[in-house]
């Protein structure tokens, strides 16, 4: 099993729940990717491998970083909303790749 960043999973979950709560936020892939990248840059990665004890580790990491994750995601959303990319699908709905 490849090592992966637990924080990334937690940030993705947080982003999904925030997006569900606030439909006004742009849901396009470009904005979501930008928000994820910005938020992840603010939180140190927590890499894990394998499945043994993973649930326990995940809960511990989730509890420890919960506040940081919530804050990083909302800051990232604000940054992207104020400064959306030209490639944002909402700004350019007619643009085809």
- The residues that touch Zn ion, with contacts defined as CB under 5 A, are 26, 28, 31, 88, 90
Q: 14 or 34, CB closer to Zn ion?
A: 34
Report the distance separating Cα 42 and Cα 87, nearest Å.
Answer: 24
Q: 68 or 92, CB closer to Zn ion?
A: 92
Smallest distance from the beta carbon of 53 to Zn ion, in angstroms? 38
**Residues with Cβ within 8 Å of residue 51, at least 6 apart in sequence:** 1
Smallest distance from the beta carbon of 85 to Zn ion, in angstroms? 7
Q: 42 or 89, CB closer to Zn ion?
A: 89
Smallest distance from the beta carbon of 80 to Zn ion, in angstroms? 8
Question: Where does 1-97 have alpha helices with state H?
Answer: 6-21, 29-40, 54-82
Q: 19 or 31, CB closer to Zn ion?
A: 31
Smallest distance from the beta carbon of 89 to Zn ion, in angstroms? 5
Report the distance separating Cα 38 and Cα 59, nearest Å.
Answer: 23
Report the distance separating Cα 24 and Cα 10, nearest Å.
Answer: 22
């Amino acid at each position: 099993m490849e090592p992966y960043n637990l924080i990334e999973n937690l940030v993705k979950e947080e982003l999904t729940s925030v997006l569900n709560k606030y439909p006004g936020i742009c849901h396009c892939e470009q904005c979501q990717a930008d928000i994820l990248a910005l938020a992840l840059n603010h939180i140190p990665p927590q890499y894990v491998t394998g499945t043994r004890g993973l649930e326990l580790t995940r809960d511990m990491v989730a509890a420890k970083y919960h506040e940081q994750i919530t804050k990083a995601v909302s800051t990232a959303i604000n940054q992207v909303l104020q400064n959306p990319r030209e490639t944002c699908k909402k700004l350019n709905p007619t643009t085809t790749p």
